Structure 1
Amino acid sequence: MRILRYSRRLACAIGAPLVNSFAGCATIAACWDYPVAFRDPNAVIRTTFDSRRHQESLVTSISPADNRSSTGDELREIAEKVLWLSTSMIHHANRIRPNASGLKVGGHQASCASMVTIMTSLWFEQLQPGDRVSVKPHASPVLHAINYLLGDLDEKYLTTLRAYGGLQSYPSRAKDPDTVDYSTGSVGIGATAPIWGAMARRFVEREATGSPGTFSGRQYSLVGDAELDEGAVWEAIIDPGIAELGEIVWIVDLNRQSLDRVVPNIAAGRLEKMFDAAGWQVLTVKFGRLLEELFAKEGGDAARRRILDMPNPEYQRLLRCSADELRTRLPGDGPEAATIADLIADLSDTVLTETIRNLGGHDLDALREAYSRIDDTRPTVIIAYTVKGFGLPTQGHPQNHSSLLTVEEYATLARTLGIDPDAPWATFDDASTAGRLCTATAERLRREPVSPAEPPAVPTDIGRTPKGTATTQAALGRVLIDLTREAPDAAKRVVTVSPDVSSSTNLGSWVNKVGVWSSSERHDWFEDDAETIMHWRESPTGQHMELGIAETNLVGLMGELGATWSRWGQPLFPIGVMYDPFVERALEPWSYGIYAGGQSILVGTPSGVTLAAEGGAHQSIKTPSIGLEQPGCISYEPAFAIDVEWTLLASIGRLGRPDGTSAYLRLSTRPVDQTLADVPTDPAARERRRRQVVAGGYPLVRRDRAAVTIAAMGAVIPEALAAAQRLEQVGVVADVLCITSPGQLYRAVQARQGHGGGESWILDQLLPADRATPMVTVLDGHPHTLAFLATVNRVASTSLGVSNFGQVGSLDEVYKHHHIDTDSIVGAALDVTGH
């Protein structure tokens, strides 16, 4: 017997869907049209009717039609090889490769096995060069096995899974040596990435061609069913902005097992309805041909009812049974037990055991039929029933998620597949039918190398000096508008993103100028309303993208917009704006986007306890230190409008290039007198100040015989300056430093110590050794963010900031509560200097 011998005979749909039996649904008939299914069990498509919506449901069940490809045998042979290679990579990493530390290496042989047929069918029959695929994290060895067979991965890497410099634990665009379209690994993030990739691709095609982006390749997500527990997945699925993106196709590996157990109530029927309600086309690939043939026999209806009525864990237990056990367990003890026993009595042991695990996700014909039904006018989800560990000795076991084949089981698998375990990496002979199919597939999927275009030049200084009173938040919109005049080529590459906070974060003028992106033209019904200040003109040529109130969606889109330079060779400058208190909510997917090569600018505004009247729920505390610690990111917290201009332009200038980096700007709604910035009028001095701002900070007040240094950041600069004036009145002279980027300064400290390749010149200008004095640091955020500055010259210090949840009140009251007011700064300076 060969492991996949019967996979071509699998089917998908019979009668009421197995999905509801697995979910333990008590009222199946309430959801599905039984009579149609029972009258025509061989129907290829069964469309149900949803009386609530009075229209055809999007949910369809797929059965394999008799249109088997001439490559069926070759595909099954390739699937067996993919199963073997993926299993062997993990086996070698854990059982053969030396492991001096004794720490677990890991891998997921069972999770790989359940995806083998799906991925073999997809790569070797369906994919086109323009398509992109996000592979579920635990199936990364399957991806590498396929790439190896297609000549995209050198054999030397097959022994390096989870080894230093080798194949990564999960698919990585940045670190794996073979083709990986999307980095995955953090649950839910990789699944949704192709959604944002589709939007980014349409946008960048418009930029490259001058016309609205159109369908130019599908965006597939291969998703484990347990991944659908992640809330961020549903935030993306239901966003109205994706309803017209027909290139999106999800394939759900419905193996009904999680890390620890068989899921008792997988509720797949509910999942189908949720996708349906979001406007997705739903295709369900369920039973196989062996079960179909069994149900067609006399007494088959009784077997069907038995399988549909049993709980999911009971069915899963049948997958582990011998033929003798199945002859007892499958009939059960109900009134139709004898009928079922008679039905299966004539089946051989091999056919009986194969029949019970005969699910559609392992059937090439059923999958092919499902792919042929994809509606390219709306997103599609294909729910494919599978057996976790299919083809392995561990198949269907409730704890097989992380289990590894023993040496004996591995040897048995080799014998079953007819493979020499001493030559595990052997490929097909080029002249064989499977070898020719691999060659043809590699040629079909060949992509032209992407040569990133040089990003347009971004000015470093617009040239104006802000006057009067302004906020750093308002400066954001002004700089973007100025960019459209000063550097139109660069401005055309800017795309802003917001989770329904455009107007409240001062992007209104920018949105009015560039319009809102939409996959299709939409009429602005308020265009003739004289009282409407912010106009919402939606078209495929807009440069602002508005999502629902879901920060994870926003940063996911930012990551894909920021990766277009490497994916499509066209750089974009994505700038996402959200309320700073919610940066932490979005941090993981944004960080993951940076890890995957997405370069973007995240603007958190308004920020801090400076949002006094909003209370503790809307006062961010930890975000300054997040910016300091985030890899691949430079953070800024400007105090003045001119600082916003310089740091934003510098951040834009770092985007869309191989050595580029992301940025995080923390802005405020506090009005500040702009004359306090004391911007130099001399051009050379102004440029020196600009370079200091971008590098991390600048001296705002320098006095002879200074006894203390006040290093302040962002919104509390007015308090720092007021404290310096009062200290001078009592005979304590103070220098005031305006810190714009603690992260940049920390990198400079590391560079001075020989850690990292950065520059340290800013420390000589900001904190020269001959001006070393005791220090007070202060910011509207956690005090440890600036505490390291005292180590530059090893001086005594006091660090002021916010380390408790906020309080509602006036600005003066809130600042006093957290000891970041002028009085507190004066007191800290007197204490640290011993006065």
Structure 2
Amino acid sequence: MTDRHDILREIERKLLWLACWTVHNANNVREKTDGLKIGGHQASCASMVSMMTALYCSVLKPEDRVAVKPHASPVFHALQYLAGNQTREKLEAFRGYGGAQSYPSRTKDVDDVDFSTGSVGLGVAITAFASMVQDYLGEKAWAEKRPEGRMIALVGDAELDEGNVYEALQEGWKHGLRNTWWVIDYNRQSLDGVVREGLSQRIAAIFGAFGWDVVTLKYGALQRAAFDEPGGTRLKDWIDNCPNALYSALTFQGGAAWRKRLLDEIGDQGDATRLIESRSDAELQALMTNLGGHCQDTLIEAFEAIDHDRPVAFVAYTTKGWNTPLAGHKDNHGGIMTNAQMDAFRAAMSIREGHEWDMAEGLSIGAHEVRDFIRSRPFFAGGTRRTTAPRVATPGPVWLADKALATQGGFGKILDALAKSDHPLADRIVTTSPDVTVSTNLGPWVNRRGLFSREKIADTFREERVPSAQKWWFSKEGQHIELGIAEMNLFLLLGAAGLSHSLFGERLLPVGTLYDPFVMRGLDALNYACYQDARFLLIGTPSGVSLAPEGGAHQSVGTPLIGMSQDGLASFEPAFLDELSVVMDWAFDYMQRDGAGDPDERTWLRDETGGSVYLRLSTRAIEQPHGSPRKDAAFAQGVIDGAYWLREPGPNAEIVIAYQGVVAPEAIEAAGRIGQDRRDIGVLAVTSADRLNAGWHAAMRTRKRGQTGAMSQIERLLAGLPPHCTLITVIDGHPATLSWLGSVHGHRTVPLGVEHFGQTGTIADLYRHYGIDADAIVDAAHRITVGRPIRLAVSNA
């Protein structure tokens, strides 16, 4: 067999079998130990198998990048298995420990995954932002020129219910989106039922409004040929007017049901009747399910006809469960074939028992021909396509000499200093923000480095001599990507830019800013970016209730806990400028690391693996410590490890105040007042509860494995405290952020923080109201019955 289309149909057949068998094996063959349903989506795989065959085995090039519909994961794994990039053992362990993942994962699968998917809609939208990043790199003089790839999403039609898809469409329109294909599996079913009539027209209208080409693939070659027969026009009209639910039901019922319905409704004892009666039940079923999304000829012709770089939406009509016993049934989304159905499917596929995983079983071609053909396809010919990029050295901390300044202002000054420099690191920084560029102190950076656009756009206000502090000019050289007010888009862009080294072979250091409370508005996309191991620096500012006049809607309480719990994200909350300088320099290096993951035996953190970094900053200006900036190595190491002693406690310490972030002045004042009556007071400056907590847990796990000397940073810091010492923790955020410190060595702990929605007022009003001011700390110390009563000093705060 030498005809390409014949081989593609054989591969399509094999992928359908392997995808369905992989799910069946996991649920009905493999031993279960906990009684839970394993799950899988055989019907969703079946509706995608033709499109994935056509794309991967005929159309795609190595530079193309693909986000696979989450529920089509078994098809993807089967395709990679045929290409030699996936193992049988991992397919047999699908959805099991160490097996192929339920949804394609860049970090947990061994095969060639471009974009992780799973949270529906996000894998779709990130392709648009990846295309924008590709355009950004293509205009940079320092970037190697490479062939432009298409960023392709294989989209379930129900994914188009997700709002972030439409936010991305609008952002793409604003940036002149190119080289993006979304191939929509229009099977007209979702988890709970069948979609409403007329959705395809709405889809076409929406995409068209944003400048996309829309290609509708409704009829396969068999159907188009039938339409040319006498009576074919009546058949086409019937298909076009048939409700989605009825079409699905008839597909499930099969050829005899099709025959009865068609003869009843368009039978004319003439041409239309003869067209129907000339086909057997099996042929009629094949004809009526020969939709455009299942026809290799139709698909390849449509894909290969695109000769431009405009974004394209392919609306491919399909049948959910195509060519399986589940085809068309409204309950088939999470349905899995019974053993009897699988036996029937096995027979139809000509698969012998015991040969289910054989590469050419049931085919008219041999295993070598299958693998040789797939490996000869451009997409697979060069092997896996993940790229790398060298690390860019950091210049060292940018020290600031301000006597009093907010960390948000310090962030802006550090970036401005980098922008003025000619250090290679500065060229790799790309900033972005959802419409709060100036109010998050990115303004100086943008004024020096400009905004990115492939087309030059002048600053009209400047040309018209209208005074403005902002130089808002766009050019190819610009290093800020302007975004609208959509935090999901921010995190998707950070995710795409933070994978540039792996997707496009060029290193970018993305920096994104947003108001700290609105981290939660984009939390799904933030988690998604971290799950892919994207690398970026996230600036959440202003944080806490310190933005007092703005009220609860603009104040953040729970974000420190997000920073602690989010995998792949090292969270810091520096109080002082020199701490910020150290953290930012470290962050730009940490974002580029890709080590083996061996823990640092000093902290037990796996810093060599690298990751993203989140800084929780404030607009509250505070006085800097005497002798700042502190440039000694021990100070810098403590900042990065998560904490250091601002005031080291004595051997008989009764109280230690541990603070994180902008409440440093309150903690310092309270320590001075308490110290008049309590012995050996200590003040612990926590810069990262996240890293302290992670190191503590890692050290405990290491001790359980027999390495009894393992000790984390926080264990060392608190080791010398006497048993009777009490920890008072304070943060402009949720008190649980630091309340765990008492568990390290069993010290009594009084956690202070904010637990409820904020309100308007002054900082003094709110700190007093929520009990995080100096008086509240002193009062907490007074209430601790560890000795003689404390004599309260008068507060001038």
TM score, norm. by length of structure 2: 0.90
Which residue is 2:603 aligned to?
none
Checking the alignment, whether the CA contact within 8 Å between 1:92 and 1:159 is kept in structure 2 is: yes
CA distance in 2, matches of 1:276, 1:647: 46
2:628 equivalent to 1:679: yes
Where do residues 119-138 of structure 1 align in structure 2 (5 Å cutoff)?
119-138=52-71
Which of residues 639, 644, 660 is equivalent to 2:610? Answer: 660
Opposite residue 174 of structure 1, the aligned amino acid is: T
Per-residue deviation at 1:572? 2.0
Aligned partner of residue 153 in structure 1, secondary structure:
coil
Which residue is 1:699 aligned to?
645
Which residue is 2:13 aligned to?
80
Per-residue deviation at 1:294? 3.8
**Alpha-carbon distance change, 450 to 168 in structure 1, aligned in 2, over 3 angstroms:** closer
Q: Percent identity?
A: 39
Per-residue deviation at 1:286? 0.4
Checking the alignment, whether the CA contact within 8 Å between 2:658 and 2:730 is kept in structure 1 is: yes
CA distance in 2, matches of 1:559, 1:136: 18
Deviations 1:739-784 (A, max 9, x none): 1100111123224424499974633664342466211111111111
Where do residues 462-477 of structure 1 align in structure 2 (5 Å cutoff)?
462=398, 464-477=399-412
Aligned partner of residue 685 in structure 2, secondary structure:
strand
Checking the alignment, whether the CA contact within 8 Å between 2:645 and 2:684 is kept in structure 1 is: yes
Per-residue deviation at 1:828? 1.0
Which of residues 761, 764, 779 is equivalent to 1:812? Answer: 764
Deviations 1:242-290 (A, max 9, x none): 6533211110000011112122346121111111111111111002233
2:132 equivalent to 1:199: yes
Where do residues 497-576 of structure 1 align in structure 2 (5 Å cutoff)?
497-528=432-463, 529=465, 531-576=467-512
CA distance in 2, matches of 1:150, 1:192: 27
2:171 equivalent to 1:239: yes
Which of residues 32, 52, 72 is equivalent to 1:99? Answer: 32
Where do residues 112-191 of structure 1 align in structure 2 (5 Å cutoff)?
112-191=45-124
Checking the alignment, whether the CA contact within 8 Å between 2:644 and 2:686 is kept in structure 1 is: yes
Checking the alignment, whether the CA contact within 8 Å between 2:536 and 2:612 is kept in structure 1 is: yes
Opposite residue 546 of structure 1, the aligned amino acid is: E
Which residue is 2:262 aligned to?
330
Per-residue deviation at 1:733? 6.3
2:739 equivalent to 1:803: no
CA distance in 1, matches of 2:111, 2:387: 17
2:720 equivalent to 1:769: yes
CA distance in 2, matches of 1:761, 1:97: 42
Which residue is 1:262 aligned to?
194
Deviations 1:368-423 (A, max 9, x none): 22213325332111010000011101111111112222223223223222332321
Opposite residue 162 of structure 2, the aligned amino acid is: E
CA distance in 2, matches of 1:498, 1:613: 23
Per-residue deviation at 1:570? 2.9
CA distance in 2, matches of 1:392, 1:336: 32
Deviations 1:28-52 (A, max 9, x none): xxxxxxxxxxxxxxxxxxxxxxxxx
Checking the alignment, whether the CA contact within 8 Å between 1:572 and 1:656 is kept in structure 2 is: no
Checking the alignment, whether the CA contact within 8 Å between 2:656 and 2:681 is kept in structure 1 is: yes
2:659 equivalent to 1:712: yes
CA distance in 2, matches of 1:556, 1:362: 31
Alignment root-mean-square deviation, CA: 2.7
Per-residue deviation at 1:212? 9.2
2:282 equivalent to 1:350: yes
Which residue is 1:422 aligned to?
354
Deviations 1:591-625 (A, max 9, x none): 22122121211110011111111111111110011
Q: Is the deviation greater in 552-561 or in 419-428?
A: 419-428
Checking the alignment, whether the CA contact within 8 Å between 2:406 and 2:621 is kept in structure 1 is: yes
CA distance in 2, matches of 1:568, 1:183: 16
**Alpha-carbon distance change, 394 to 215 in structure 1, aligned in 2, over 3 angstroms:** same
CA distance in 2, matches of 1:229, 1:665: 33
Deviations 1:408-466 (A, max 9, x none): 3223223222332321222245697655533422686324766633312214433x353
Per-residue deviation at 1:202? 3.4
**Alpha-carbon distance change, 595 to 323 in structure 1, aligned in 2, over 3 angstroms:** closer
Checking the alignment, whether the CA contact within 8 Å between 1:232 and 1:553 is kept in structure 2 is: yes
2:59 equivalent to 1:108: no
CA distance in 2, matches of 1:522, 1:70: 51
CA distance in 2, matches of 1:161, 1:176: 11
Q: How many residues get paired?
A: 761
2:635 equivalent to 1:689: yes
CA distance in 1, matches of 2:52, 2:558: 42
2:499 equivalent to 1:581: no
Which of residues 756, 761, 779 is equivalent to 1:827? Answer: 779
Which residue is 1:222 aligned to?
154
Which of residues 281, 304, 309 is equivalent to 1:377? Answer: 309
Checking the alignment, whether the CA contact within 8 Å between 1:647 and 1:694 is kept in structure 2 is: yes
Which residue is 2:294 aligned to?
362
Deviations 1:127-174 (A, max 9, x none): 111111111111111112112222222333331211211211111111
**Alpha-carbon distance change, 832 to 335 in structure 1, aligned in 2, over 3 angstroms:** farther
Per-residue deviation at 1:732? 6.9
CA distance in 2, matches of 1:507, 1:443: 40
Q: Is the deviation greater in 731-740 or in 266-275?
A: 731-740
CA distance in 2, matches of 1:212, 1:470: 41
Where do residues 615-626 of structure 1 align in structure 2 (5 Å cutoff)?
615-626=551-562
2:668 equivalent to 1:721: yes
Which residue is 1:481 aligned to?
416
CA distance in 1, matches of 2:150, 2:312: 11
Per-residue deviation at 1:302? 3.7
Aligned partner of residue 784 in structure 2, secondary structure:
helix
Checking the alignment, whether the CA contact within 8 Å between 2:735 and 2:754 is kept in structure 1 is: yes
2:219 equivalent to 1:287: yes
Aligned partner of residue 260 in structure 2, secondary structure:
helix
Checking the alignment, whether the CA contact within 8 Å between 2:638 and 2:644 is kept in structure 1 is: yes
Which residue is 1:31 aligned to?
none
CA distance in 2, matches of 1:759, 1:266: 64
Per-residue deviation at 1:87? 1.3
CA distance in 2, matches of 1:443, 1:360: 23
| Structure 2 unaligned regions, length at least 5 | 595-608, 790-797
CA distance in 2, matches of 1:649, 1:143: 40
Which residue is 1:739 aligned to?
686
Deviations 1:770-802 (A, max 9, x none): 466211111111111100112233222211111
CA distance in 1, matches of 2:388, 2:236: 56
Aligned partner of residue 377 in structure 2, secondary structure:
helix
CA distance in 1, matches of 2:670, 2:277: 92
CA distance in 1, matches of 2:386, 2:11: 29
Aligned partner of residue 162 in structure 1, secondary structure:
coil
Checking the alignment, whether the CA contact within 8 Å between 1:797 and 1:832 is kept in structure 2 is: no
Checking the alignment, whether the CA contact within 8 Å between 1:751 and 1:760 is kept in structure 2 is: no
Checking the alignment, whether the CA contact within 8 Å between 1:512 and 1:536 is kept in structure 2 is: yes
Which residue is 2:526 aligned to?
590
Opposite residue 130 of structure 1, the aligned amino acid is: E
Q: Is the deviation greater in 373-382 or in 225-234?
A: 373-382
CA distance in 2, matches of 1:364, 1:767: 67
CA distance in 2, matches of 1:732, 1:605: 37
